[in-house]
Chain A
């Protein structure tokens, strides 16, 4: 599959799929998967319920971590939207390859609604939900809804550990 697009998830989809214990779903279409360095940094710089799982999965599956200028320049800074900036840089880098490479960028719904990405030709931005439905309709997954439900159930369990004072948080 020489012309296969590369699948590049933002932080949100990594988190959702990790809670659903479904990171392997990223491999189902048979497309190469890549991690953007700044996204990996955001996901693993502190210990969270999924940081180790994601870091280990990326290592075990030999997922390439793509370097960005954003990550290099953001070293040590904790700015909230640098992952998105690194994703945008990655989109542009794909478009500048000769021949341009196709990319499928995964985001959570709210990120697509808020952020404006300059999407190069040959690149798609899709939501985790759309990706799961695509897998379901392609026969790679029994139920997209079940994955989302599993993520939420696991999130509720972990949230009680991470925010033990309960909701609403002080």
Chain B
């Protein structure tokens, strides 16, 4: 299958960790990216073909476009824990605040000690 080059931006720390992972498994960042992207795309496509919006909902939550309450409502989940488990099962990350916001919180905590 033909490969193409493209430009994208990625979290600096994530890229560092991906390089370590790739080295540990004697592979490349491109191979890792292909594998995970393929999993994500094929899972969503399969779900869509079956008229199942669940994958799209979880992806929307991971991207911060749909709230946890809305996903839980749509998927009839009663527990926050079930949402955590479904995200883990779907290989999707929980939504993240910007690193800058996280660092500001760390700084606030450090001032308490």
Q: Give residues in A with beta carbon < 8 Å to B.
A: 5, 11-12, 15-16, 19, 29, 42-43, 46, 48-50, 78, 80-81, 102, 104, 108-114, 124, 126-127, 129-131, 133-134, 137-138, 145, 152, 155-156, 158-160, 162-163, 166-170
Contact = CB atoms under 8 A, between A and B. Distances in A.
B96 A159 contact: no
B96 A169 contact: no
Interface in B64-113: 64, 67-69, 72-73, 75, 78-82, 84-90, 94-97, 102-103, 105-106, 108-110, 112-113
A156 B91 CA distance: 8
A159 B78 contact: no
Contacts of A43: 81
Contact of B95 (A80, A109, A170): A109
A84 B55 CA distance: 26
Given A80-B73, A109-B96, A137 B106 contact: yes
Interface residues of B, number: 41
Q: Give chain B's interface secondary structure class.
A: helix
Nearest to A136: B106
A110 B85 contact: no
**For B69, B75, B80, B81, which residue has the most chain A Cβ atoms within 10 angstroms?**
B81
B43 interface: yes
B46 to A, nearest CB: 8
Nearest to A11: B80
A143 B97 CA distance: 19
B112 A110 contact: no
Given A48-B79, A127-B105, A134-B109, A158 B85 contact: yes
Interface of B: 17, 43, 46-47, 52, 54-55, 58, 61, 64, 67-69, 72-73, 75, 78-82, 84-90, 94-97, 102-103, 105-106, 108-110, 112-113
Contacts of B17: 145
Counting from the closest, the 4 A-B pairs by CB-CB distance are A155-B88, A130-B105, A159-B89, A159-B85
Contact of A131 (B85, B96, B109): B109
17 contacts: A5-B112, A15-B81, A19-B84, A50-B81, A110-B94, A110-B95, A124-B105, A126-B105, A130-B103, A155-B84, A155-B87, A160-B89, A163-B85, A167-B90, A168-B54, A168-B55, A170-B52
Given A129-B102, A159-B85, A167-B90, A113 B97 contact: yes
Given A108-B94, A170-B52, A16 B84 contact: yes
Contacts of B61: 110
A126 B96 CA distance: 12
